[in-house]
Structure 1
Amino acid sequence: MASTAITTDKTTPVGHLINGKVIIEGSRSQDVFNPATGEASKQVDLASRRTVEEAITAAQAAYPAWRNTPPIKRARVMFRFKELLEKNADRICEMIGEEHGKINHDAQGELQRGIENVEYACAAPELLKGEHSKNVGPNIDSWSEFQPLGVVAGITPFNFPAMVPLWMYPMALVCGNCFILKPSERDPSSTLFIAQLLQEAGLPDGVMNVVNGDKEAVDTLLDDDRIQAVSFVGSTPIAEYIYTTANANGKRCQALGGAKNHAILMPDADMDNAVNQLLGAAFGSSGERCMALSVAVAVGDATADALVSKMQSAMANLKVGAHTDNSNDFGPVITRQHQNKVVGYINSAEEQGAEIIVDGRNPQVSGYENGFFVGGTLIDKVTPEMQSYQEEIFGPVLQIIRVETMQEAMDLINDHEYGNGTCIFTRDGEAARYFSDNIKVGMVGINVPLPVPVAFHSFGGWKRSLFGDLHAYGPDAVRFYTKRKTVTQRWPSAGIREGALFSMPT
């Protein structure tokens, strides 16, 4: 097992950050692709059980001192970390583009939303103050504290290699925990680089560790008794596995899964505005967002016909291409396998009777003929029994379903197994209020197609989009990464002997 200095050298495999050093185990590795070219650009080292256990051991050793570090000093690390993220933003976004394919302007937006979670973590002294009550009984005081859990872990997806990890570890760290991050092996470089910036910001060795790997690394984290909590973002089948396994092993767990996000378009909607909003919400980041808006439910055929006509015209100007050209709207999908999967869903919809209005199955991207590209695709006359509607496509595909009434549209959303995000386009305040109050979805937009909560709220869906009781980041993160302790204190007067009391104190 070799140790390397901090590097972004493309000839060196992407390794693991353990106890302040970048480690390359060397026993197993996997190609990391540039999805725009379709070629492997580097390799990532895959951690064995032994390497993951080394990271946990390092975190366990660092925990006592970090736990007892005052919250204000933990927060100061985050202030410096924020500055370093902003200083290195262009470098980070270049790494994201090279391995994920995300256009630079989109990567910059991802990073900024991650930085906002660091800003929230800077408020640790306020967030961790606890509660105090004087004289809850005769000369008895009581207070509650939020104490850290110990060593906690995060398992994050490929689609936001910077932002989603930043949903987790800034708050976990300022709460006094030590952290093990297992990021996606598809695009690991930016995630590792950002973690190294924490060291530059003054975080002690061992408090933050990164292990790249596959299922072996994940299962090690789930099985090890030293891991107290696991936070996960990914697909629903894996989220359910993570949650079930973690709970069976006595760990606290939040596991965010998949989505099928619907937008209802009412007859009174500002259609031009809705179309502009749908373009970005459906096709931004190639639809590889758990909050991507993938289904438009049009109330009435006249609404649907107007939507189809305007979307078809607007989509003629969409540009798909490499991350290096900032005039592109979105880039490739993550792998050849996923490209084929997305195209398979489009084929399935067509075979089952849907109408392909704009076909993105064979985009021509000059100079990048071998890239993993799928163009923006618009599908009309989709019905609920179609496979492409029931399952998460996770690509630049917008499906249109036609219904007669708003209630029918809401029933469609409420009946779906996913409940991550949704929105309604309308000018009717009463309809919007009824929708937001009765829809069975965790994040709701009113004329806002991507209702992703800001950092001082919390992110999470309902139904099979979230396994666990607490949402990600924001106020729920304080609850997730701490355990409450309530202390009740009394100091009897000296020299006074008190008799036994057998009734319940009141």
Structure 2
Amino acid sequence: MGKTIADARAEVARMIEMVECACAIPTTMQGRILEDVSRNIDLETVRQPVGVCAAIVPFNFPAMVPFWFLPFAIACGNTFVLKPSEQVPMTQQIAFEELDALELPSGVVNPVNGGRELVEGMLDHPGIDAVSFVGSAPVAKLVYERAAKSGKRVQALGGAKNHMVVMPDAVIEQTVQGIIGSAFGAAGQRCMAGSVLVTVGDAHEQVVPPLIEATKDLRVGDGLSESTDVGPVISTSARERITGWIERTGEVLVDGRESAPDQGCFVGP
């Protein structure tokens, strides 16, 4: 998707951390017994597998987000179906090659590739007991409604409009770096990207000038280059959508189109 090499390494590290966390499942999923919760009554809790779990995941974190679900599902005794984004299918192809090397029983983990029709089939399929979704808020709502209608357990994570608030007593240098990382990390293609900056009192005069300069200093280019700060966006349509937002705005403090390479899906900060 055009991540910088630093972003990609950090994502794979988090993916591995998810597996390590899931290794603690035998302890964390234990049931419990409480004696004498009422007169002559003891309480026993037994946790059992749900059955067939599925995940529909986005393009922006093709390594990490699937592993929010996969290792935990199978560690709890479920089977798992993963539908990666059709825009970035290769990451999980590689991950599943490693899973195949574990010689898990056939059918425990299952990748499926496709678009909207496949997703709709998963949401309606009577053999799938639970669905996890990560993506845009409008689609998350549709996924929740459709999957719940067929009796599935559902968790659906959508995006948000994230506001960053700068107070007058902020440490400016650290604040600027935090804003830059939040807004432009992964080329801004993540649900927690800071998209609105709110300054309180005289914080505006303190933070905006150095923020403009720091933004101009960001290097846009090939994500495999160690010197690149901002890689390309996922597709031509994404670039055109972002460019449209820039053209419709009232005032542009830094026009990233001026620093973006002509070839490729680049939009500078």
Q: Say yes or no: TM over 0.5.
A: yes
Q: Which amino acid aligns with 1:349?
A: T
Deviations 1:106-152 (A, max 9, x none): 10111111221111100011011111134567876541111011011
Match of 2:69 in 1: 168
Kept in 1: contact 2:52–2:80 (CA 8 A):
yes
**Aligned residue number for residue 64 of structure 1:** none
Give unmatched runs, 5+ long, in structure 1. 1-99, 377-506
Task: Give the 5 Å matches for 1:61-72.
Answer: none
Distance 1:293 1:359 in 2: 18
- 2:191 partner amino acid: C
Which segments of 5 or more consecutive residues in structure 2 lack a partner in the other structure? none
The CA deviation at 1:349 is 1.5
Cα separation, 2, equivalents of 1:178 and 1:271: 49
Q: 1:224 aligns with which of 101, 125, 132?
A: 125
For residue 82 of structure 2, the aligned residue among 166, 181, 184 is 181
Residue 340 in structure 1 maps to residue 233 in structure 2: no
Aligned mates of 1:370, 1:310 — CA distance in 2: 29
- Within the candidate set 107, 117, 126, 2:27 is matched to 126
Q: 1:203-234 CA distances to partner (integer Å, 9 max, x unpaired)? A: 22210000010011101111111111100000
Residue in structure 2 matched with residue 441 of structure 1 by the alignment: none
Aligned position for 1:23 = none
Distance change (3 Å), C-alpha of 1:136 and 1:303: closer
Aligned to 2:194: 293
Paired residue for 1:47?
none
Q: Is residue 215 of structure 2 the alignment partner of residue 319 of structure 1? A: no
Report the Cα distance in structure 2 between the residues aligned to 1:261 and 1:141, rounded to whole angstroms: 47
Of 222, 233, 249 in structure 2, the residue corresponding to residue 349 of structure 1 is 249
Are the aligned partners of 1:128 and 1:145 in contact in 2 as well (CA < 8 Å)?
A: no
Question: Identity rate of aligned residues, in percent?
Answer: 46
Give yes or no for the alignment of 1:279 onto 2:180.
yes
2:266 matched residue in structure 1:
373
Return the match for 2:49 from 145, 148, 153.
Answer: 148
TM-score (norm 2): 0.96
1:193 partner amino acid: I
2:259: which partner in 1? 363
Report the AA paired with residue 217 of structure 1: L
For residues 236 and 138 of structure 1, what CA distance do their matches in structure 2 show?
Answer: 48
Determine if contact 1:363/1:373 at 8 Å carries over to the other structure: no
Provide the rounded CA distance (Å) in 2 between the counterparts of 1:349 and 1:304: 19
CA separation in 1, counterparts of 2:133 and 2:39? Answer: 46
In 2: Cα distance, 1:138 partner to 1:337 partner? 65
CA distance in 1, matches of 2:88, 2:178: 28
1:5 equivalent in structure 2: none
Q: Is the 8 A contact 2:25 2:76 kept in 1?
A: yes
Q: CA RMSD in A?
A: 1.5
Are residues 298 and 137 of structure 1, via their aligned partners in 2, closer, same or farther at CA, if it must alter by over 3 Å? closer
Larger radius of gyration: 1
In the TM superposition, what is the alpha-carbon distance from 1:105 to its structure 2 partner? 0.9
Q: Distance in 1 between matches of 2:82 and 2:258?
A: 37
CA distance in 1, matches of 2:119, 2:52: 15
Deviation at 1:340, TM superposition (A): 0.4
Determine which of 231, 235, 239 is the counterpart of 2:140: 239
Q: Is the 8 A contact 1:199 1:205 kept in 2?
A: no
Residue 204 of structure 2 is matched in structure 1 by 304
**CA gap 1:137/1:297 in 2 versus in 1, 3 angstroms:** closer
Tell me the distance in 2 between the aligned counterparts of 1:137 and 1:106: 53
Letter in 2 for 1:178: T
Task: Render the CA deviation track for 1:225-251: whole Å, top value 9, x for unaligned.
Answer: 111110000001110110000111111
* CA distance 1:132–1:343, change in 2 (3 Å): same
Per-residue Cα deviation, 1:304-330 (whole angstroms, up to 9, x for no partner): 122210111112210011122011012
How many Å separate the matches in 2 of 1:362 and 1:186? 27
* Alignment partners' CA distance in 1, 2:163 and 2:96: 35
- Give the structure-1-normalised TM-score: 0.52
